[in-house]
Chain A
Amino acid sequence: MLFQSLISEPVFIFPVLSFFLKINFDHSLLFLLLIFQTLSIFSLQLGKVSPPNFQMGFVSSLLTYSFLKYPLSFSILVGIFSSLIFGYFYVLKRKINFYLSKNFEIKLALILSILITFFSYLFFLLLEYFLLKNFHMFKIQKDSILIISIFLILAQIKYTKVNKKLGTILFFVGTLIGLFLCLKININFF
């Protein structure tokens, strides 16, 4: 949260970080970035305003794609799923914040809140790393996105549910161009 306040969301700052940290920034990473930038901007239309979810989604996608070497499509789906999980965490965090601000001094509550956020994010990423590295079902599916993707259906449904705020014509133009691009895209790229 502090990082977001000072600079910007990881999903927007990552290209810059990649230059300084000498991470090989390629077209696949840019595609990943585009998906999460779209979601981050669209979060107002998706119901609750919760951009931190998509920061977390992007970071876990990055972990899956860059460090665990899973396919891009699988990484995107994992990221979307993580975003959904962190949506619930964000709601819980607000309740914890209320408890902290009522029962502690402001400065102490602030420190505790930052620590809770930091360690919960870290715990989630470590858990994800552990699951993807050690679970049998993830191991055998490493070169494809088949069965594992069922875990990510719920998240997909959640984020493609649209409401009245949606600009219909532009949305359909987007779907048409998307359809054209998906048909043209080299399937092995993902």
Chain B
Amino acid sequence: MFKDKHKLFLKSLFVQVLLNEEEMQMPGYKLLTNGKFNHHINSNPYLATIVSGFISKVDDLKRVEIFASISAFIGDDLFWNNLKPITLMVSLLVYIFRIDYHFLLIPFVLYFFSTNTLRFFGYDYGAKNSETLSNFYSSFFFKNFRFFLPKIKYFLFGFFTIFLLFLNLKILNSIGIYVIIFLLCVWVNISFKEFAYIFLFILGVVLEVLFKVLM
């Protein structure tokens, strides 16, 4: 039993490896369910074992699809909107108040144990509660936190934008020609979008040759 759990845990680590737009995580789930599940599916990789436990008990494909989508929502809430902002806030507190760096271990331990415990015990939980799991999201206790925790990222992104502006101003202050190159790059980016990199590549080659000749 313990060996099986271990095997499932290891397989669940590979669920996202063959992710592609056409099938999403289907190859990963094929491996996880030993070929039993062979349909388009998208879930949160941290909740993969819960979903595979659910699949083992439920044959209705529609229900599996709905549950996988719900798990993707929960995953976003739990990891993107709660756990990662907490980690960021701890780093910020350490940075501002110059607290000991070992304090950074706390969010890591939280992240490590929560994700891997979910992976390890998820299969049994999913299989045992397959009938009641449809209400999974409504009883999700982290839901209450999502109103304020994720907002920190907007605040920090504001800081990030101004920091980039600050760096650019620092460069502008040092070299006048940068204004022309900056405007040229902005124009190329707007006009050519993805092809702007060809321009960047040509610019790089020209600059390298120029420096080689001048030196």
Residues of A with Cβ closer than 8 Å to B?
A: 1-2, 5-8, 12-13, 15-16, 19, 25, 27, 30-31, 33-35, 37-42, 44-45, 73, 76-77, 94-95, 97-98, 100-101, 106-107, 109-110, 113-114, 135-137, 140, 144-147, 149-151, 153-154, 156-157, 160, 162, 166-167, 170-179, 181-182, 187, 190
Contact A178 B18 (CB under 8 A): no
Q: How many A-B residue pairs have CB under 8 A?
A: 218
Closest beta carbon of chain B to A32's beta carbon, Å: 11
Q: How many residues of B contact A (CB 8 A)?
A: 74
Residues of B with Cβ closer than 8 Å to A?
A: 12-23, 26-27, 30-31, 45, 76, 80, 84-85, 87-88, 91-92, 94-95, 98, 101-102, 104-105, 107-108, 111-112, 115-116, 151, 153-164, 166-168, 170-171, 174-175, 178, 181-182, 185-186, 189, 196-197, 200, 203-204, 207-208, 211-212, 215
Contact A34 B16 (CB under 8 A): no
Taking CB atoms, residues of chain A closer than 8 Å to B208 are: 135-137
5 cross-chain CB contacts under 8 A: A8-B115, A30-B101, A41-B84, A156-B168, A174-B161
Contact A110 B17 (CB under 8 A): yes
CA distance A13 to B102 in the complex (A): 12
Taking CB atoms, residues of chain B closer than 8 Å to A30 are: 91, 94-95, 101
Which of B153, B158, B175 lies in contact with A147, CB distance below 8 A? B175
CA distance A38 to B189 in the complex (A): 24
Taking CB atoms, residues of chain B closer than 8 Å to A153 are: 168, 181-182, 185-186, 189
Closest beta carbon of chain B to A171's beta carbon, Å: 4
Which of B17, B85, B95, B168 lies in contact with A41, CB distance below 8 A? B85
Taking CB atoms, residues of chain A closer than 8 Å to B20 are: 94-95, 97-98, 101
Closest-by-CB residue of A relative to B161 is A160
CA distance A61 to B94 in the complex (A): 21
CA distance A27 to B94 in the complex (A): 9
Closest-by-CB residue of A relative to B80 is A44
Taking CB atoms, residues of chain A closer than 8 Å to B182 are: 150, 153
Contact A73 B167 (CB under 8 A): yes
Given contacts A27-B95, A33-B91, A110-B14, contact A167 B167 (CB under 8 A): no
Which of A35, A107, A150 lies in contact with B160, CB distance below 8 A? A35
Closest-by-CB residue of A relative to B210 is A137
Contact A147 B157 (CB under 8 A): no
Taking CB atoms, residues of chain A closer than 8 Å to B115 are: 8
Closest beta carbon of chain B to A19's beta carbon, Å: 7
Closest-by-CB residue of A relative to B166 is A182
Given contacts A98-B20, A178-B162, contact A146 B174 (CB under 8 A): yes
Taking CB atoms, residues of chain B closer than 8 Å to A149 are: 167-168, 171, 178
CA distance A178 to B135 in the complex (A): 42
Taking CB atoms, residues of chain B closer than 8 Å to A109 are: 18, 27
Closest-by-CB residue of B relative to A35 is B160
Closest beta carbon of chain A to B28's beta carbon, Å: 8
Closest-by-CB residue of A relative to B107 is A12
Which of A15, A40, A171 lies in contact with B154, CB distance below 8 A? A171
Contact A98 B22 (CB under 8 A): yes
Closest-by-CB residue of A relative to B103 is A15
Contact B155 A110 (CB under 8 A): no
